[in-house]
Amino acid sequence: VLSGCGVYDGTEIHEASAVLVHLSRGGAEVHMYAPDVPQMHVVDHSKGQPAEAESRNVLVESARIARGKITSLAKLSTTEHDAVIFPGGFGAAKNLSTFAVDGKDCKVNREVERVLKDFHKAGKPIGLCCISPVLAAKVLTGAEVTVGHEEEEGGKWPYAGTAGAIKEMGGKHCVKEFSLTPSYEAHVDAKNKVVTTPAFMCETELHNIFDGIGAMVKNVLKLTGK
């Protein structure tokens, strides 16, 4: 499930690509979806600033990553899929929810909420990375997730405050202790079949993020039992 195209106002492209590579390597058949709604705003990524008087559609922008093969999230049926994965990027906190603005009091897009609840009820695994675990924390009360560490640690974990918001929403945050490879690991909530990994929540090398996402995808596929 994508949330646009570009880290500051949509899906983090490296994360989406890593998810797709690892799913392909795992032999999965993939279908991509995004909500057919306007973005919260458009960010000029060369400046890191909102672009005034510009608007874009989440589904249309997500189609860039999907190479055109994308469907409205409203048409995603749990019965037709074994698992669902949400890459990160600020789009998860701006377009799939209002977390970027409202924090713990955020609202989740109704189709995103439906999908999360439907997969959870069906006992099918849910994978999330980077900031997107906040979606599960908000919708699935008591779910265990990780966004990495709970302290900034000199800028290594610049979004560490997210862990506190997760706790306030009723989720359980699980700190992942890493040594030389801070994003290699994924946390598996076996009870709720929710798998999360920090990805770009950590300032680390790209290959670490790629491998951490690989661990998340591998565990999601394992939980499908196929």
Residues labelled as active-site residues: 130
Pairing of strands 126-129, 84-86: parallel
Sequence-distant (6+) residues with CB within 8 A of 171 are: 133, 134, 136, 137, 138, 140, 141, 142, 143, 144, 145
E strands present in the chain: 32-34, 43-44, 49-50, 70-72, 84-86, 126-129, 144-145, 172-173, 187-189, 194-197
CA atoms within 13 A on the CB side of 146: 26
Q: How many residues are present in the chain?
A: 226
Residue 220 has a CB neighbour count (10 Å cut-off) of 28
Residue 31 has a CB neighbour count (10 Å cut-off) of 14
**What does DSSP assign to residue 199?**
G
Sequence-distant (6+) residues with CB within 8 A of 208 are: 181, 182, 183, 184, 202
